[in-house]
Structure 1
Amino acid sequence: MTNTTVVSAPGKVLMTGGYLVLDQTYRGLVVGTTARFYTVIQSTKKDERGSIQVRSPQFDTNANWSYTATIQDEKLQFSSRPDSSQNKFVETCLRFTLEIIYQRTGKLFDDSLLITIVGDNDFYSQRAQLESKNLSNTVESLASLEPFCSTHATLGTVHKTGLGSSAALTTSLVAALFVHLTDSDLDQDRTLIHNVAQYVHCFAQGKVGSGFDVSAAVYGNHRYTRFSPDVLSSVMNDQVDSKELLKALDPVTGSWDNIVVPFQLPPGLELLLADVDAGSHTPTLVSKVLTWRKNNPIEANELWGQLGNMNNNVEQHLRNLSKASETNPEEYKQAIKQFSELKASKWYTVENKTSIMEEFIQLVDDFSQVRTFLQKMSQLSDVPIEPTEQTKLLDACMNMEGVILAGVPGAGGYDAIYCIVLSKKAKETVRNVWSSWKEMSVGPLLAQADNKGIAKISVESVNGLGRFLL
């Protein structure tokens, strides 16, 4: 084996902007996570020229896919091997990314490729794994599992945790192909990689989605405004002309209008994530909400406007706090220290509050309004965005000292929750609430907030990755 490339891409949490982010009028606040997907590409002389072997060793069966890619009469010929199982995301990534690379460079590769794709454990529920080892569902137990452990499931039956596995996989594979075959500079070509990843992810799903999950996988934390679906409408078909495709996806000739504004959680605020063992089908939730909005435009648009304004307020409070931590660090640290020892509902009782403390209080109040509007949307649309069971759990978290925010990410439902806390003690308290919760099974995830998007790394820098490589 020679010439090995490793590229990783993060999962995501959509803190604010669920449903609204589908509309260009509104924005979403998306946070990248430390949970990442890794694509490793190795060049080999082992197989015939143009052969591509892809494998995902965390799955039990049919997680190996075989393709061929050759150039004939100056055209890319790409096909799945007849005896290979099918994977829409992998096949779409390879087919269109190789087409773009060939159109841009006039060449492909002279050998064969072995591609290995794995995701951090947090992308998949580890409940069955823990039970098989007689371990409780705690942070300590999760940390004891080997990296990239077997899911004991197939791709079709695995229980995902909602961190955006398909977007992270797609983005890491697209970026790895660019790096491996063109020696791409990820910083220089980030926009092109974003556009290609968005396209192949939409094509594989059969529709143009909001794109925030792919955007997070490329850029990490940011405020996201979606691209117009019209950007891709002319190339969402199997007979797309390769030159037309390149024109649509190229940052210069394409008409991409998405907006990415960098964002960071303020210092001292730590993101906690939990997997809720109930499950929701996000496309179904979204479809029902959009149907309600279409049938009740006046009522829906008024609510969306109110929710959009509150989402903007939450973002502005977070940005103001980040700025305050730089301009007045001692006062900021004092506010964190004082509020970490109180329930957020009691913060207003503190005497001689500073302007930074007032900013924290406003953040809590406005985020509470966000939740109120999401609950109202749940009722009006008859869609469980923040179901009663989740409301009880979130309220219990907010009733702990040092908890500043607790919400359902993205489209909501029964899949997951997130909390933002101000201290190590608050983190432990929240996790105790989860472990003792009776109405639903709530388990922690290890992932934290992380600002890194796609990244080229070495095999040696990732614990446990080397064991999968030949």
Structure 2
Amino acid sequence: MTTSEQPTAVSAPGKVLLAGGYLVLNRKYNGIVIGTSARFYTIIYSGKNGFGEITVHSPQFNDGEWNYRVTESLGDSFSCELEPINPEKRNSFVEIAIKYSLSIILYRINKHKFQAIFAKGLDIYIIGNNDFYSQREQLKKRNLPLTSSSLKSLEPFCKVHCNVNEVHKTGLGSSAALITSLVAALFVHFEVTSNQIDDRRLIHNVAQFCHCLAQGKVGSGFDVSAAVWGSHIYKRFSPSVLEDVMNQKVNLLALNNIVDPASNKWDNQATNFSLPPEFTLLLADIDAGSHTPSMVGRVLKWRKENADQANILWDTLAFHNTAISNDLKELNKNYQQNKELYNIAIKVCENVKASEWILYGLQNPNNTNIALFSSIFITFQKIRGLLREMSELSQVPIEPPKQTKLLDACNDIPGVIMAGVPGAGGYDAIFCIGIGDAFNTRIEKLWNSWEEMSVGPLLSKESSKGYMIEQISEVSGLSKYLNRETLPVKLFKNKL
């Protein structure tokens, strides 16, 4: 079996923006980005189609198949033109990611090597974890309650029984995770490698461009950044980086120069970060729904019209966001220095409401972890207050009253250290972070009994890892969708 005949499998995680909603649009501010255990998987086979033919399968959907024919050249354009075989059936995210990834790959590797790997075309499978899509209808059909145990009973990567444009997403950044896994899988499959750091930067740059072009605008980019690096402190790239290639007639030589890590055009920052030990992230989707782009547009319009007022509010939010990240980093450091003292703090606080932790901190002055737990809780309450103020001033439901009531109830549960609306806010989702063995059970009991809104728990936890090369056989449920005998996945000394 030749190298090109071996399948390549790459996964990329979803995201939660813990703090920095709206602020991450501005390079002046940071955001706390958490990678999730929900991942998108791209598997690429060579050897089924004819030269230049690509079939893309997204088998969880009723209409999840797209067919393309590729023509490539080595002229000034270094282009791989992608011709849809069924033009009436398009997926711009998939199409853009494949077209520009192959064009950049063709620019970076020997043409004969490209043609040899592409000799029999590509067969691509793109499959997402269940948490990316609401499973309410699946549970309803099975007469199962909306609980985590019911979700665990569903088969992995279950079908959603609808078309791609009809699916109800949960807000974990499915399009960014999809594009990142697809771009990375193509680069791995064509063996475009240099060194680990530059490989990851290259994938980031290409995925950011493809995602922005598919969306028709340069966004904040934190979702793609999470798909590449996992959990981190994020500072966005300057939108001007991509301004010369944000059109349908992209100059490919210019694009290759822009995405090249050696060009040093990208000024984004991804600083290592993860939640402290024994901290558990729980997520839930809310059966209501907000239109994030329209919310962001309205907030930015308000900010432009009320610049002085907005700047004060955003600077104050940024101050508290930084305080949260510093306290979380300090807890990670404390754990490494004295695990026993850290675990004592967990035991002291796990069965007490966070509003009372300040007293326990005063009673245990030698255990600074308790004071840090309390500081995080108090600071995040201030952040929520500022978001509600922004809601009122901009007339945008960032933390709507119904969400406020639910989040306050969460904060009354012992062990809960933070409860909030991620990213742009609205009715779509909530997150809770807590400590202790009983935290999960207590929160889910509250969510199950909540009557004002339907709260659907997700199974995702934090995952600090970005995109990864995978072994198909080690991912439960993945091989069932692959219409062929599963082959050993390509392995590299360089794991990207």
The normalised TM-score by structure 1 is 0.97
Q: In the TM superposition, what is the alpha-carbon distance from 1:185 to its structure 2 partner?
A: 6.7
Show the counterpart of 2:234. Answer: 224
Q: Could you tell me whether the CA contact under 8 Å between 1:247 and 1:254 is conserved in 2?
A: no
Q: Give the alignment partner of residue 282 of structure 2, picking from 272, 275, 289.
A: 272
Displacement of 1:360: 1.2
Give the AA of the match of 1:372.
G
Tell me, yes or no, if structure 1 residue 408 matches structure 2 residue 421: yes
Give the partner amino acid of 1:323: K
The answer to whether structure 1 residue 92 and structure 2 residue 96 are counterparts is yes
Q: Which residue of 1 aligns with 2:124?
A: 115
Residue 399 (structure 2) aligns with? 386
State the 1:82 CA deviation.
Answer: 3.9
SS of residue in 1 equivalent to 2:6 = strand
Contact 1:186/1:454 (CA < 8 Å) preserved in 2? Answer: no
User: Partner residue of 1:313?
Assistant: 323
Q: 1:133 to 1:370 in 2, by over 3 A?
A: same
Q: Which residue pairs with 2:196 in the alignment? A: 187
Distance 1:184 1:110 in 2: 20
Structure 1 match to 2:59: 57
Relative to structure 2, which stretch is displaced further, 208-217 or 175-184? 175-184
CA drift of 1:77 comes to: 4.1
1:429 aligns with 2:430: no
Q: How well do the aligned residues superpose, as a CA RMSD in angstroms?
A: 1.3
Distance 1:112 1:460, change over 3 A: same
Matched, 1:337 2:339: no
Q: 2:302 aligns with which of 285, 292, 296?
A: 292
Equivalent in 442, 464, 476 of residue 463 of structure 1: 476
> What is the aligned partner in structure 2 of residue 238 from structure 1?
248
User: Residue deviations 1:132-167, cap 9 Å, x none?
Assistant: 011111111100100100112211110000000000
Establish whether residue 352 from structure 1 lines up as the match of residue 392 from structure 2. Answer: no
| Secondary structure of the structure 2 residue equivalent to 1:167 | helix
Partner of 1:125: 134
Distance 2:386 2:195 in 1: 39
TM-score normalised over the length of structure 2: 0.92
Distance 1:8 1:184 in 2: 17
Q: Tell me the residue number matched to 2:11.
A: 8
Residue 49 of structure 1 aligns to a residue whose secondary structure is coil
Q: 2:20 aligns with which of 11, 17, 37?
A: 17
Aligned length: 468
Question: Once the two structures are superposed, what CA deviation does each residue of 1:388-418 show, in whole Å capped at 9, x if it has no partner?
Answer: 0100000000001111110110001001000
Q: Which moved more, 1:99-108 or 1:88-97?
A: 99-108
- TM-superposed CA distance for 1:54, in Å, is 0.4
Deviation at 1:290, TM superposition (A): 0.2
Q: Which amino acid aligns with 1:66?
A: N
Question: Which runs of structure 2 are paired with 1:58-77 in the superposition (5 Å)?
Answer: 58-61=60-63, 63-72=64-73, 74=75, 75-77=78-80
SS of alignment partner, residue 182 of structure 2: helix
Deviation at 1:16, TM superposition (A): 0.4
SS in 2 for 1:424: coil
Q: Which amino acid aligns with 2:412?
A: N
Find the aligned partners of 2:219 and 2:184 in 1 and give their Cα distance. Answer: 20
Q: Establish whether residue 443 from structure 1 lines up as the match of residue 462 from structure 2.
A: no
Give deviations 1:229-282, integer Å, cap 9, x for gaps: 000001111222211110011011241000110001111111000111111111
2:107 and 2:190 mapped to 1: Cα distance?
Answer: 13
Residue in structure 2 matched with residue 26 of structure 1 by the alignment: 29
Q: 1:359 offset after TM fit, Å?
A: 1.3
CA deviation vs aligned residue, 1:78-105 (integer Å, no higher than 9, x gap): 2233425100100000111111001111
Q: What amino acid is aligned across from residue 280 of structure 1 in structure 2?
A: S
- 1:86 maps to a residue whose letter is R
- Please tell me whether the aligned partners of residues 126 and 178 of structure 2 are also in contact (alpha carbons under 8 angstroms): yes
CA distance in 2 between counterparts of 1:229 and 1:216 reads 18
- State the secondary structure of the residue aligned to 1:111: coil
C-alpha separation in 2, matches of 1:80 and 1:369: 52
CA distance in 1, matches of 2:13, 2:45: 21
| % identical aligned pairs | 51
1:264-316 per-position Cα deviation (integer Å, ceiling 9, x unaligned): 11111110001111111111110000000000001101100000100000000
Partner Cα separation in structure 2 for residue 231 and residue 254 of structure 1: 10
Kept in 1: contact 2:27–2:238 (CA 8 A)? yes
Gaps of 5+ in 2: 485-496
What is the distance in 2 between the residues matched to 1:251 and 1:77?
A: 21
Shift of 1:187: 2.8
CA distance in 2: counterparts of 1:406 and 1:187, whole angstroms? 36
Other-structure match for 2:381? 368
- 1:183 and 1:419 mapped to 2: Cα distance? 40
1:170 correspondence with 2:179: yes
Residues in 1 aligned to 2:288 and 2:388: alpha-carbon distance in whole angstroms:
19
Q: CA deviation at 1:27?
A: 0.1
- 1:404-449 deviations in whole A, cap 9, x for unaligned? 1101100010010000110121210111111111110001100000
Q: Give the unaligned 5+ runs of structure 1.
A: none
Residue 71 of structure 1 deviates from its aligned partner by 2.3
**C-alpha distance in 2, partners of 1:190/1:209?**
20
> Residues of 1 paired with 2:356 and 2:74: CA distance?
73
> Contact conserved, 1:10 with 1:37, CA < 8 A, in 2?
yes
Deviations 1:318-346 (CA, angstroms, capped at 9, x unpaired): 01111111112211111111100100111
Q: Is the 8 A contact 1:179 1:185 kept in 2?
A: no
Secondary structure of 1:101's match? helix
Q: Is the 8 A contact 1:171 1:218 kept in 2?
A: yes
**Structure 2: how far apart are the matches of 1:229 and 1:263?**
24
Question: What's the offset of the Cα at 1:13?
Answer: 0.5
2:203 maps to a residue whose letter is: I
Residue of 152, 161, 164 corresponding to 1:152: 161
Q: Distance in 1 between matches of 2:336 and 2:86?
A: 59
